[in-house]
Amino acid sequence: MALEQVNGDTLAAARKVIAVHINYPSRASQRGRTPAQPSYFLKPSSSLSLSGGTMERPAGCELLGYEGEIALVIGKAARRVSIEDAWSHVAAVTASNDLGVYDLRYADKGSNLRSKGGDGFTPVGPALIPADAVDPAKLRVRTWHNGELVQDDTTEDLLFPFARLVADLSQLLTLEEGDIILTGTPAGASVATPGDVLEVEVGTLDGVRTTGRLTTAVEEGTTAFADFGAQPKVDDVQREEAYGSREAAGLAPVDEAPGAGAAVGPALSPELKAKLESVATATLSSQLRKRGLNNVSIDGLQATRPDRKVVGLARTLRYVPNREDLFKTHGGGFNAQKKAIDSVNEGEILVMEARGEKGTGTVGDILALRAQVRGAAAIITDGGVRDFTAVAGLEMPTYFANPHPAVLGRRHIPWDTDITIACGGATVQPGDIIVADSDGILVIPPAIAEELADDCIQQEKEEKFIFEMVQQGNSVDGLYPMNTEWQARFAEWEAGKHND
């Protein structure tokens, strides 16, 4: 169906752009606050732009937030109208993207003028859907970030229905023909970076009418802010707001140690790491078994770099089976998978629980490369790997069940991070020490790691002595394991080694 396209005349007719803070229950739940009444802020009409354009993330800014929204276009002036009459003052609905930089929120004191009022910060379009042809309670808004669906919600249970917004605003100000009201964003709004493409589409629930996709490309600004004005700055509060939650922003819960991606558990000292690297996983397994730990191996995986031995602290990520409604709220944006990848630290090992599901990928080349760039020692997953050739070509080893071309959304939802998980038949906690090589992967409780390493070093000395004795023609009877006589001879052998 042909609809009127949003064009320059549409933008020129807008004297005011009014935006609603919170209106979707999903967003209210994400924010942790549900307003009793609607609240608003103004955006300059100069912030309006058309579909297919580009917008700059201002130079020096980090947090360019996007928010897919339904925009109302006023068709006739409204002043002190009733809720019952309000919808008749709306000419059309269209798609909008309420863009803004959280880096400047501190300077606005609540007005959002600089943070959300920049040129091009309010794309609208591409088509107008006549308001009298739709039920305002049966519309759908969707947002895609680089082709990935990250927002998907309907107007069926809004906190403040559209007619109420129009009536409420008209109590104190005249809504004029051409004015635009941005009606709030659902959960899933997040952060875009230069090179990203954002798309927003509004349509009826039956799919008969649609605005088409409002497309905006993000590019990096090159002109720095002058020193006579506020400078961009961010903190963890703004990161949480921009990404939608502390978890999505890669920040530790407030009751944990400060700092995103902080290492969990005791530190792995260079000395302990060197000891564990010096001994075979077979020796470690033997000593663990002596301590009654028989279920500490991650089994059934293969390695992209079997020639490498890695030792590091575990960080964890859990996938749950895909359920379409939950994937909408947890699968998009800066989800748990991306958070885990983007917060892994130097020398840490990201361990993924994929329930042994081999029918899809759990990590691909871009995220694996990001982990390598951050200094991760390895990735371990008991699921599949996408882009296998590229992942296998990285210096960082990846341990996996099998290659698979499908994206994780086929079978998984990235759910949570840095919790106790199961991987390859073993329980793994954040801060556990992982030792992996061509012989296998072991999970070492950090509390016993120092003692375990020392005993392994001693065991390998004994095994070296036994090997030499067998080479010299001695029987293994009484030698392997050593009886009292051989233990005495070993002590002499070891003393001689120290004297050399």
Q: What is the mean pLDDT of the chain?
A: 90
Pairing mode, if any, of strands 139-145 and 197-204?
A: antiparallel
Write out pLDDT tens, residues 316-373.
999 999 999 888 888 887 788 988 998 898 899 999 999 999 999 999 999 999 999 9
Residue 267 has pLDDT above 80, yes or no: no
Residue 2 has pLDDT above 50, yes or no: no
Say how many CA atoms lie within 13 Å of 220 toward its Cβ: 8
Write out pLDDT tens, residues 201-231.
999 999 999 999 999 999 999 998 998 888 8
pLDDT of residue 257: 38
Write out pLDDT tens, residues 117-142.
999 999 999 999 999 999 999 999 99
What distance in Å separates the CA atoms of residue 413 and residue 336, rounded to the nearest whole number? 9
Residue 260 has pLDDT above 60, yes or no: no
CA separation, residue 357 to residues 323, 371, 424 (Å):
15, 22, 10
Residue 263 has pLDDT above 70, yes or no: no
Q: What is the DSSP letter of 333?
A: S
pLDDT of residue 216: 97
Residue 356 tokens, joined: 């042994």
Q: For residue 166, give the amino acid letter.
A: V
Say if CB 100 and CB 61 are below 8 A apart: no
User: Which is more confidently placed, 500 or 406?
Assistant: 406
Cβ atoms within 10 Å, residue 268: 20
22-36, 65-79, 442-456, 472-486: the lowest-pLDDT one: 22-36
Say if CB 176 and CB 16 are below 8 A apart: yes
Cβ atoms within 10 Å, residue 207: 8
Residue 280 tokens, joined: 């075979």
What distance in Å separates the CA atoms of residue 380 and residue 34, rounded to the nearest whole number? 40
Beta-bridge mates of residue 22: none
In the block, residue with structure tokens 């933008």:
11
Write out pLDDT tens, residues 34-47.
888 999 999 999 99
Say how many CA atoms lie within 13 Å of 374 toward its Cβ: 21
pLDDT of residue 63: 94
Residue 27 has pLDDT above 70, yes or no: yes
pLDDT of residue 4: 86
DSSP letters of 245-269?
Answer: STTTTTPPPTTS-SSTTPPPSS---
Residue 249 has pLDDT above 70, yes or no: yes
Contacts of 49 (CB under 8 A, 6+ apart): 11, 55, 119, 120, 121, 122, 123, 124, 216
Residue 3 has pLDDT above 80, yes or no: no
pLDDT of residue 254: 53
Q: What is the DSSP letter of 47?
A: G
Residue 433 has pLDDT above 80, yes or no: yes
Write out pLDDT tens, residues 169-200.
999 999 999 999 999 999 999 999 999 999 99
Closest to 335 in 3D by CA, of 312, 383, 367: 367
What distance in Å separates the CA atoms of residue 469 and residue 464, rounded to the nearest whole number? 9
Q: How confident is the model at residue 160 (pLDDT cuts 50, 70, 90)?
A: very high
What distance in Å separates the CA atoms of residue 251 and residue 271, rounded to the nearest whole number? 29
pLDDT of residue 34: 84
Rounded to 5 degrees, φ, ψ at 18 are -115, 130
pLDDT of residue 207: 92
What distance in Å separates the CA atoms of residue 220 and residue 211, rounded to the nearest whole number? 28
pLDDT of residue 409: 84
Q: What is the mean pLDDT of residues 399-404?
A: 96
Q: How confident is the model at residue 500 (pLDDT cuts 50, 70, 90)?
A: low
pLDDT of residue 107: 86
Torsion of CA 387, 393, 394, 397, to 10 degrees: 90
In the block, residue with structure tokens 């559209």:
162
Beta-bridge mates of residue 129: 93
Residue 498 has pLDDT above 70, yes or no: no
- Please provide the size of the chain in residues: 500
Instruction: Give the H or E element holding residue 413.
Output: strand 412-417
Closest to 314 in 3D by CA, of 347, 269, 279: 347
Q: What is the mean pLDDT of residues 251-267?
A: 49
